[in-house]
Amino acid sequence: KKRSSSVIDPLVTPMWNSNFEFDVSVPELTLIRFLVEDYDASSRNDFIGQFTLPVTSLKLGYRHIHLLTKEGNPLPSASLFVHIMVLEN
């Protein structure tokens, strides 16, 4: 489990510029979940959107991850722009 830093400035298109590295032993059984929450210092973090997929389904390169509601419905215009790389030992 990894977590990016919070973006305090309420931007329309926030940027995290975070890098995460995971050691995956059994990719066939591994899921990756992208979760976005609204950080607020005075209350708990509110769910914005999420997307979960098997690691074996990841495509390399720059990708848009389209976020879904808790019920799995699409969130219009809500996506993460990510860069996926696989480093092999």
What confidence tens digit (pLDDT) does each residue in 10-61 have?
Answer: 556 677 778 888 889 999 999 999 998 877 767 777 888 999 999 999 999 9
* Residue type, position 86, single letter: V
Question: What are the boundaries of each domain within the chain?
Answer: 27-84
Token representation of residue 46: 């509110």
State residue 19's pLDDT score. 86
pTM: predicted TM-score of the whole model, two decimal places: 0.77
State residue 5's pLDDT score. 60
What length is written for the chain? 89
State residue 36's pLDDT score. 87
Output DSSP code: residue 28. Answer: G
State residue 72's pLDDT score. 94
Architecture of domain 27-84: Sandwich (2.60)
